[in-house]
Amino acid sequence: MTAAANKESFMAQAPQVAAALPWLADADALQNDKAAGWMKALRSTGAEAFSQTGLPTLAWEGWQYTNLRALTPAKFRYSAEPVKFDAAKIPSPLLGAHRVVLVNGQYQPKLSSLPEHVTVMSLMEAADKNIAGIEEQLVTLGDLGKNPMTALNAAYLRDGFVLVVAKNRDVAEPIEVVFYNAGRDAAVYPRVMYRLGENAGCTVIERHCGEGAYFANIYASIVLESASRMRFYRFQEESEAGLHASNTVVQQQKGSSFEGFSLGMGAKLARQEFRLQLIDRAISSSIGGTYLMKGQQSHDFTVLADHFEPDGKSVQHFKGVVDDQARAVYQGKIHVRRAAQKTDGYQSHHALLLSPTAEASAKPELEIYADDVKCSHGATAGQLNPEAIFYLRSRGIPHDLARSLMVESFLGGAIEKVSYEPVRDIYFARVAAWLAGRGA
């Protein structure tokens, strides 16, 4: 490349690089802590990758529907100091007594309680003891140059926890994991790992909530060993001024099963990414969700199901409601590698627009290299049927109640796929409460 071309290339990147540097202003202080050398090296790798890219723009593949202009580094700052908070503001448990609590990404053992055969410890403690081969898991992040949010999370690798379920143990009661953010313009970067031993099983309920303005950028690994089983339910109920970005990677071994579902109804701006990696034979993996958007909220579900070996099954099923000037995004992909014969893959997305100014964008994809597969996808967007509303009103049902019944019926098609009834009931209750607040 000529000198002139080099200069032109640098000038083209300079604004992006300059914009990235303020996000890393607080990361240098972490290099003085007692983390292992490999953790410090990973932080440096993440910082270097992010400094070259900055935040994704609308020109990035996969980010063309989600605008990050609300994210400004001058507003959100990271602190490694123990966070001060009012424990009374942390929500009461949804189900059962077992829970893991994080405040601004920092694990709070005094507020946490665990069932037998489950081990939980802070990320730094787990890394120091190399619990569950955490070093190998932490450094497996993919191409950071193509994943700026993951790179930024890696640059602040310190907060979070590791949860391990022992081999051949089935935890009967659900484990609730609360990510509570105390606001004050905090930037939080928790790194989380769930690991289920061979033939283990558990149900995890994640709750993301808080008060005030903050930016939560979470990276989670779910490692399922052979024949293990996990039900994973998320409630994204961040504050109205909060910003949420999460990347959840599920790595599944032979004969394991994963059922995931997420409700997105909080945050000013949210993006939830899921990567399902079916890396062995006879794996079942499903992810579903629903969103309830109003005002000027924006929510993005981006999902990849990657089939490596034969006889795998993956399902993606999403439905959502968008009102006012809100925007919803679904980007789903099924990738079937050449060796993954007999793959069964399905994906769908359906959006209901309650306002003429509401928006919903969908991008379903299939990328198939095997020749003996059964895969399908589909997406729709539409409005409430006025004839159906008229029919209900002619039967004496008030207009607002008629709309509410139709919306609940529409979303029920997704929520009813949640196999754990107590959580399914809570999802339906959340929908009902949202509709009541809208006067619908």
- Pair (369, 423) in one structural domain: no
Do 331 and 188 share a structural domain? yes
Cα–Cα dist 377/427, whole Å: 25
Answer yes or no: are the C-beta atoms of 351 and 320 closer than 8 Å.
Answer: yes
pLDDT over 60 (residue 11): no
Three-class DSSP labels, the chain: CCHHHHHHHHHHHHHHHHHHHHHHCCCHHHHHCCCCHHHHHHHHHHHHHHHHHCCCCCCCCCCCCCCCCCCCCCCCECCCCCCCCCHHHCCCCCCCCCEEEEECCEECHHHCECCCCEEEEEHHHHHHHCHHHHHHHHCCCCCHHHCHHHHHHHHCCCCEEEEEECCCCECCCCEEEEEEECCCCEEECCEEEEEECCCCEEEEEEEEEECCCEEEEEEEEEEECCCCEEEEEEEECCCCCCEEEEEEEEEECCCCEEEEEEEECCCCEEEEEEEEEECCCCCEEEEEEEEEECCCCEEEEEEEEEECCCCCEEEEEEEEEECCCCEEEEEEEEEECCCCCCEEEEEEEEEEECCCCCEEEEEEEEEECCCCEEEEEEEEEECCCHHHHHHHHHCCCCHHHHHHHHHHHHHHHHHCCCCCHHHHHHHHHHHHHHHHHHCC
Q: Does the model's pTM come out above 0.85?
A: yes
Residues 374 and 389 in one domain: no
Q: Are residues 397 and 380 in the same domain?
A: no
Q: Where does residue 393 fall: left (phi above 0), alpha (psi -120 to 50 degrees), or beta otherwise?
A: alpha
Does residue 5 belong to any structural domain of this protein? no
The verdict on 369 and 278 lying in the same domain is yes
Query: Could you tell me the residue range of the domain that residue 196 belongs to?
Result: 17-384
User: Alpha-carbon distance 94 to 92, whole Å?
Assistant: 6
Structural domain includes residue 327: yes
Q: What's the pLDDT at 312?
A: 97
Q: Is the pLDDT of residue 197 over 80?
A: yes
398 and 253, same domain (yes or no): no
The domain tally of the chain equals 2
Residues 378, 407 within the same domain:
no
pLDDT for the residue numbered 1? 41
Q: String of b and e for 241-259 (b: at least 16 CB within 10 Å)?
A: ebbbbbbbbbbbbbbbbbb
- Among the candidates 363, 384, 405, a domain finishes at 384
403 in the same domain as 380: no
In terms of domains, do 375 and 409 share one? Answer: no
Q: Tell me what pLDDT residue 20 has.
A: 67
Q: Taking Cα atoms as reference points, which of 336, 318, 317, 332 lies closest to residue 364?
A: 332
Task: Tell whether 188 is covered by a domain.
Answer: yes
pLDDT classification of 322: cutoffs 50, 70, 90: very high
Residue 170 lies in a domain: yes
pLDDT digits (tens, 9 = 90+) for 172-194: 999 999 999 997 899 999 999 99
> What is the arithmetic mean of pLDDT over 376-402?
87
Same domain? 242 vs 364 = yes
Same domain, 337 and 244: yes
Q: Is residue 278 in some structural domain?
A: yes
Comparing 14-28, 194-208, 273-287, the range with the smallest average pLDDT is 14-28
Q: What is the pLDDT of residues 25-72, one digit of tens each?
A: 888 878 788 888 888 889 999 999 999 999 999 999 899 999 998 888
* Domain stop point among 338, 369, 384: 384
pLDDT exceeds 50 at position 316: yes
Question: pLDDT averaged over the chain?
Answer: 91
User: In the listed set 369, 384, 399, which residue is the last one of a domain according to the structure?
Assistant: 384
305 & 410 share domain:
no
**Predicted confidence band of residue 4 (pLDDT cuts 50, 70, 90):** very low
